[in-house]
Structure 1
Amino acid sequence: MRLTPQQRHHNETKIRAAMDRLLRGDLPPGGKCDIKTLARESGIDRTAFYGNRPYVHLREEFENRLTAIRQTGERPDPRDAQIARLKKEITTLKERLIHRNETITELTDIKTEVLSRLAAQHEEIIRLRRRADQAADVHRLPVRAPVIEPRN
């Protein structure tokens, strides 16, 4: 069945309206910014956009506009923008993770060194106490009981 000029004009109007919506980023659920979605949104059979069919020029126009939009850095498909944003976020998180791991390693090394020093100081205190206990000329001072102040 051949299309009348009015039907063809009506279909082209529907296709252009759907094209504008898709290129603005107004995508239907489960749709992308592509010919398949354009055909579905305009209610035209997808095969009409290929070969020597009547709407090849509209497919080419759609693809050219889509390419021009992408070259400016915009993304009509919000999922493309979301994927780009998530990739950037993953890169940032990986860098933060590397930095955190380096910090944890440094802090673990410091902790080990501090514990070694504390153990060495404890051993030194014990050694000095033994020596003081064995020495005859060292007198211990009496230990006072702590003073407890009354509460108001």
Structure 2
Amino acid sequence: MRISAAQRVHNENRIRAAMDRLLRGEIPPGGGCDIKTLAAQSGVDRTAFYGNRPYAHLRAEFEQRLQQLQHAGQTPDPKAAQIEHLKADIAKLDDRLAQANSTIEQLSDFRTQALAQLAAQHDEILRLRAAAARNPNVTHLPASRQKIIGRC
């Protein structure tokens, strides 16, 4: 069904008004800053925005204006802004988790090396004690007695 030039101008004006509202952040409940919501808010069939349909140029204009706002650091859709914020939080948490895992791995390696070193030192002490016990020229000192200080 063909529409008159006056109807087309009227529809374009409604579309531009809806476009301005969406880009200002006036997003209806359950909607987003997208073509689907633009079509619903302007009362125009969504298919009219695609291909060589009559309002395809308005879709391109809407997407260009939305992209300009996003490059300027503004996000008219609060859901999209929240999603971007959460993605940034997830990236930070992923970095912290990777650092924590690296630290845990380093500490586990240190613990393993320390235990191996203690075991080697213990074996060396036992070997030296056994060697000292077999040597008749070594004099053994008596075990020291510790004083018990201040019993209550």
Q: Could you say whether these structures have the same fold, taking a TM-score greater than 0.5 normalized by the shorter chain as the test?
A: yes
Aligned counterpart, 2:45: 46
When structure 1 is superposed on structure 2, of 27-36 and 112-121 the one drifting more is 27-36
* Displacement after TM superposition at 1:56 (Å): 7.8
Aligned counterpart, 1:139: 140
Determine if the alignment matches structure 1 residue 102 to structure 2 residue 102. yes
Distance 1:60 1:96, change over 3 A: closer
Aligned counterpart, 1:124: 124
When structure 1 is superposed on structure 2, of 24-33 and 99-108 the one drifting more is 99-108
* Displacement after TM superposition at 1:14 (Å): 9.4
Determine helix, strand or coil for the equivalent of 1:79. helix
TM-score by length of 2: 0.63
Aligned counterpart, 1:90: 90
Task: Report if the CA contact (8 A) 1:35-1:59 is conserved.
Answer: yes
CA distance in structure 2 between the partners assigned to 1:117 and 1:57 by the alignment: 75
CA distance in structure 1 between the partners assigned to 2:127 and 2:140 by the alignment: 17
Please list every run of 5 or more consecutive structure 2 residues that lacks an aligned counterpart in the other structure: none
TM-score by length of 1: 0.63
Please list every run of 5 or more consecutive structure 1 residues that lacks an aligned counterpart in the other structure: none
Task: Report if the CA contact (8 A) 1:36-1:46 is conserved.
Answer: no
Aligned counterpart, 2:32: 32
| Identity %, equivalent residues | 46
Task: Report if the CA contact (8 A) 2:19-2:38 is conserved.
Answer: yes
Distance 1:63 1:94, change over 3 A: closer
CA distance in structure 1 between the partners assigned to 2:114 and 2:70 by the alignment: 57
Task: Report if the CA contact (8 A) 1:15-1:39 is conserved.
Answer: no
What CA deviation, in whole Å up to 9, does each residue of 1:92-123 have, x standing for no partner? 33333333333333222222221111111111
Letter in 2 for 1:78: P
* Displacement after TM superposition at 1:62 (Å): 4.2
